[in-house]
Amino acid sequence: MTNIFTITKDALTAISPAVSFAHDVFLGTLPDTYLVYTLISSPPEQSADNVETQRSYRIQVSIFSKAGLANLPDVDTAMLAAGFMKSNFREIPRDKETAHFGLAKDYTILLSS
């Protein structure tokens, strides 16, 4: 079975080491620009003979930057190359402690079991 976290990590590695990233929480000293990814939802989409055959996944990649939201890393190209489709995106309020601006971008993918 394909692991959604491995697929996402491999996709984001395409823009690393220029941009650091982590799953769920970035630990340690925060760079000026970094990414965090997390699984938002994963509903089953198809089954046969009471066995799941397909599941969709929605991954959120949050981009944080002290320089604002105008010149962010190209996460779209990396995620689309891995088979994801772009979905919703929304601004994250500026962090008062770290001064990072944020943008959350959702991507979906359908995987066979």
Give, for all 113 residues of the chain, the pLDDT tens digit.
469 999 999 999 999 888 999 999 999 999 999 999 999 999 999 999 999 999 999 999 999 999 999 999 999 999 999 999 999 999 999 999 999 999 999 999 999 98
Q: Indicate the pTM of the whole model.
A: 0.94
Count CB-CB contacts under 10 A for residue 111.
16
Give the chain's domains with CATH numbers: 4-112 (3.30.2000.10)
Question: Residue 113: its pLDDT value, please?
Answer: 85
8 Å CB contact between 26 and 34 = yes
Residues in the chain: 113
